[in-house]
Structure 1
Amino acid sequence: MIRHLQSALLFLSLAVPAFSAQAGELRGVVELFTSQGCSSCPRADAELGRLVEEGDILALSYHVDYWNYLGWKDTLSDAANTERQKGYARTLGSASVYTPQAVVNGRDHANGGDDAAIKALLAGFEKKGMGLTVDVGLKRSGDTIDVTIGEMPAGGDAAGRAEIVVAYFDKANTVEIPRGENRGKRITYHHSVRNFEIIGMWSGEQMEIKLPRSVLGEDGQRGCAIILQRMDAKGRPGAILGAAMLASGEAG
């Protein structure tokens, strides 16, 4: 469930000294909306896994809950994921939601199993200067997870304010599906989002947020990603301006 992180869990400071920026390390963000109960999704789930392996795309998988009535309840589904997809539908002017849907940089969408279409969107946004234009850094430092966000680039696409979203995800989950449209299949899901929350607001200035290491779970094996994203007045997601990822196992 999306929620605002309690102020006791983070410390915020502005005008931070120079830090190691990560702009350019990630080419873009691909958010796949999928379901274990959707027969069209396994190809997209595999495609997301390939994007994860390539390493230069923040690839996240959001399991929706609206196919759970088809004989199998998705073990990774969450109503909050469905609401995020519906928010994108309204932002992008779509009349309905579907799976598998890949939303690219919060700006456009394609069939999640269409590798060529996804990469064409990523390349097109880069060419137009609509990629990840704001520096975002994410690293472990002792007992904290340090989030650093750079300044608004001169003449860039980052005018105005944006919200800072953190998504917590599992590296991989392999699921045996005994019922429903994918019955009998054993599918591995990559970077499945288990929770996401808004932790602050960016107004174009350099800033830092410190999260407690405990957000990565007791064993430190949960990954997290920071997404700098515009939201409309109703909280619906829009263009993504910057992102960084700390994969499970990097929390050390």
Structure 2
Amino acid sequence: MTLSRRLRLALAAATLLVTHSAAAEAGERQRGVVELFTSQGCSSCPPADANLAGYAQRDDVIALAYHVDYWDYLGWSDTLASPENTQRQRDYATALGNRTVYTPQVIVNGMAHRNGADGPAIERLLAETTSQSMQVDVSIRKSDDSIVIEAREGAPGTAAAVKANLLLVFFEAKTVVKILRGENAGRDVVYWNAVTGIQAAGMWHGEDLRLEIPMSEVRRKGSGGCAALLQTLGKDGTPGRIIGAAVLRNPGM
């Protein structure tokens, strides 16, 4: 191989790497969103927490862990839980026609649920729901001291006529918790992408949408990152299918 050919190949490889990195930072269209509802006080949750850790490392899936507070009475108050997280799960239960909530529960693309420890079932749901959900290009990127979120115009025949909520979900990338009491007493558990805040940022009506929020807001609500979810709403305001999503990891870096 000639030196000039080697240089051309090296340049092409470098260009591809830069392009891929920029696309990953901006948040290309995802295969799906996996939302886990979990609790530090739930003895059946650690396998689901470990399962979510695998999804958190993937580029094609946005993995989020919502810690709920309704098991706190068992003797250990979840240090990552919030009433807001619990309410999101209850809203999903209403939307999906479930009479109760449970942990560990995974919601895939806002459309269907499974036990959070059942990896094969979650993979099947990702395959089954992606064509109905991930229809709109959403991106999120850093720009000086702010982050910019954009949602593109919906494609004809897909989500173009759908109204959706642009939801910002803030999270911490990795948290290690030493659990002292309750069903998981004595365990040190690693939690990935624990949600620290949820914010409705605006409505999308099928046309190009752009908004900018201060970086300080992201750092305050979750230094691990921010996910932008474009989610349809039911008639009663309950969450529906997620039609686009992007994630910005480590925004403070």
TM class by shorter chain equals 0.7 to 0.9
Name structure 2 gaps, 5 residues minimum: 1-22
Name 1:155's counterpart in structure 2. Answer: 157
Residues 25/134 of structure 1: CA separation in 2 closer, same or farther (3 Å cut)? closer
Name 2:67's counterpart in structure 1. Answer: 63
AA at the equivalent of 1:66: Y
Q: Tell me how large the CA RMSD over aligned residues is.
A: 2.0
CA contact (8 A) 1:136 1:242 kept: yes
Deviation at 1:220, TM superposition (A): 8.1
2:120 equivalent among 113, 116, 128: 116
Name 2:111's counterpart in structure 1. Answer: 107
AA at the equivalent of 1:147: I
Q: Give the secondary structure class of the aligned counterpart of 1:148.
A: strand
1:173 equivalent among 161, 172, 175: 175
CA contact (8 A) 2:29 2:138 kept: no
1:46-61 pair list within 5 angstroms: 46-61=50-65
1:75 equivalent among 65, 76, 79: 79
Q: Give the secondary structure class of the aligned counterpart of 1:69.
A: helix
AA at the equivalent of 1:145: I
1:220 and 1:31 map into 2 onto residues whose CA distance is 17
User: What TM-score, normalized to structure 2?
Assistant: 0.87
Name 2:185's counterpart in structure 1. Answer: 183
Q: Larger Cα Rg: Structure 1 or Structure 2?
A: 2
Name structure 1 gaps, 5 residues minimum: 1-18
CA contact (8 A) 1:34 1:99 kept: yes
The C-alpha deviation readout for 1:66-94, integer Å capped at 9, x for no partner, is 00000000000101111100000010011
User: What TM-score, normalized to structure 1?
Assistant: 0.87
The C-alpha deviation readout for 1:133-158, integer Å capped at 9, x for no partner, is 10000000001100010011111145
Residues 155/223 of structure 1: CA separation in 2 closer, same or farther (3 Å cut)? same
Higher helix share: 2
2:24 and 2:48 map into 1 onto residues whose CA distance is 34
Give the total of aligned pairs.
231
